[in-house]
Amino acid sequence: MKKRSAIFMINMLLSMFMIASCDSSGGNTTTKTLRDLADNKNIKVGAAVNDYYLSYETAYSNTVAAEFNTLVPENVMKWDTLEPAQNVFNYSKADTIVQFAANNNMYIRGHTLLWHAQLPGWVKSAASTNRNNLQSILENHIQNVLTKYKGKIYAWDVVNEVVKDDGSGLRCTTDATPSIWAKNSTDDSLIIAAFNKAHAVDPDAKLFINDYSNEQYGNAKANKLYQLVAAWVSAGVPIHGVGFQLHLLEESPPDMQKVRQNIERYQLLGLEVHFTEVDVRIKTPVTQTKLDHQAEIYAALMQMVLDHYSVNTFITWGVTDKYSWIPNYFAGYDSSLMFDSQYQPKPAYDSVINLLQ
Ligand code: G3I
């Protein structure tokens, strides 16, 4: 552990020295941000963002604009916000984010169209009527949302978290965490309908299926998702990639070699992999050793982006530890992002910067 920390400190010092470079007038130093370095390598580096903080917290909006070239709405492109009542669409919060991205010349990933969570009551009630009705409700939602944002969103998480955690099939109506979108664990008809509809409305958007615990080759859930995706690809379903959310734990990161193997099997299918919701939560108390280890995990992920042409997107699920979802959902965990709660870059940030320059 001591040796690892020493090597890490040397890397940090080297990186601090190297990113401070002379500008053309000589003398003054300029510091390249994450965004500057990612732009140079055609990498989309982004964060899930909240419309309210973008509008009202300058430290938040300044950090986002300086450090990222890609945004994902953390919540406001979900169904309960966009279509709270049937055929009544409310785009105002999503538009705040789309406008911020346009003002700052940023890309947007859309999240998400078919998911079991953050659904309004009226959709759940409709699901208990007949299946054709549910399909037309789904297609109408996709028709409206993708028409509205056509040309503004380069990739959509069309489908989110549909595979059961034990990898035994699709999350369905009888599951412990039920989904209205599959009547049994093999019913993928509405998933396919969602991809077909999204492609028909916005043929230029890259269409993704996104999930957690799907990154490690050999894991039952990862393998199940791969089998499903491979079958859809061979059936001609318009799917262009798989999102690895990567909500990781500092104390037990995945086997990075197996993550690479997983990327490579999707690459062989002709698909992209996006890192869509990266965070690495730390069990409190947070120590320097844990932060340094977290930094190594962030760097190992970014190294995969550099090493694979099929991985070009690295999104963190939040901007600052101040507003991360982690402490609310996992008691005793914190500090999962690259910026701390005062917007100061952490070792994770430095390690990624170090790799990108
Ligand atoms: O909007 C209401 C607000 O009116 C109310 O006053 C407040 C009281 O708790 O709740 C607000 O809703 C919250 C919502 O976020 C918007 O802030 C919900 O309680 C809260 O549960 C919800 O959490 C979101 C979660 O998805 C819901 O499943 C998190 O912010 C969001 O980070 C999280 O994101 C998901 C991805 O979409 C999919 N992958 C996993 C990831 C983390 O769970």
Q: What is the DSSP pairing of strand 107-114 with strand 155-160?
A: parallel
Q: How far apart are CA 117 and CA 253, in angstroms?
A: 26
Q: Give the residue ranges of DSSP H helices in the chain.
A: 2-19, 34-40, 51-56, 58-67, 79-82, 92-103, 121-127, 131-148, 189-201, 220-234, 256-268, 288-307, 326-329, 347-356
pLDDT in the model for residue 188: 98
Q: What share of the chain is helix, strand, coil (3-state, %, to 5)?
A: 45, 20, 35
Q: Is the peptide bond before 287 cis (omega within 30 degrees of 0)?
A: no
Active site residues: 161, 277
Cα(1) to centroid of ligand 1, in Å? 37
- DSSP code for 88: B
Q: Which atom of ligand 1 is nearest to the CA of 318?
A: 32
Q: What is the pLDDT of residues 43-73, one digit of tens each?
A: 999 999 999 999 999 999 999 999 999 999 9
Cα(340) to centroid of ligand 1, in Å? 20
- Give the model's confidence band at 10: pLDDT under 50 very low, under 70 low, under 90 confident, else very high: very low
The residue whose C-alpha atom lies closest to atom 18 belonging to ligand 1 is 118
Q: What is the pLDDT of residues 16-36, one digit of tens each?
A: 444 444 333 333 456 899 999
Pocket flag, ligand 1, residue 325 (CB < 6 Å): yes
Q: How far apart are CA 57 and CA 79, in angstroms?
A: 26
Q: Which residues of 20-54 are buried (b: 16+ CB within 10 A; e: fewer)?
A: eeeeeeeeeeeebbbbbbbbeeebbbbbbbbbebb
Q: Which of 53, 158, 316, 325 for mutating ligand 1's site (highest number of atoms within 8 Å of CB)?
A: 325
pLDDT in the model for residue 226: 98
Q: Which atom of ligand 1 is nearest to the CA of 325?
A: 32
pLDDT in the model for residue 29: 53
As a whole number, the mean pLDDT across the chain is 93
Alpha-carbon distance values, 120 to 48, 88, 123, 313 (Å): 22, 12, 6, 30
351: left (phi over 0), alpha (psi -120 to 50) or beta: alpha
Q: How far apart are CA 307 and CA 284, in angstroms?
A: 33
Coil, helix or strand at residue 169: coil
Q: What is the pLDDT of residues 220-250, one digit of tens each?
A: 999 999 999 999 999 999 999 999 999 999 9
Residue linked to tokens 């890397």: 11
pTM (2 decimals)? 0.93
Q: What is the pLDDT of residues 128-161, one digit of tens each?
A: 887 889 999 999 999 999 999 999 999 999 999 9
Cα(74) to centroid of ligand 1, in Å? 8
- Give the model's confidence band at 280: pLDDT under 50 very low, under 70 low, under 90 confident, else very high: very high
